[in-house]
Amino acid sequence: MYHETTDAEKAAIEQALVTDTDFAHEYRQLKTLMSSLETVKEEPSQKSVDAILAYSKSINLHSVPK
């Protein structure tokens, strides 16, 4: 799924996908889940951004001497 397997592992997975229906079903579910996660784009609410900015302005930051 993430292209992190060796050639031998890839061959074993491909064989299992053909011979093990439970494994194949689980694999398809995981692939579907991965695809749906790739489309999710979350952003903080404007209220959260405003709270963070207000907090950062309220604390006294000092620069680090070189």
**38 — phi, psi (to 5°)?**
-70, -25
Query: Using one digit for the tens of pLDDT, what is the confidence trace for 3-52?
Result: 889 999 999 999 999 999 999 999 999 999 988 888 878 889 999 999 99
Contact 1, 30 (CB under 8 A): yes
Structure tokens at 38: 């790739």
Calpha distance 62→4 (Å, rounded): 44
Which one is predicted more confidently, 48 or 2?
A: 48
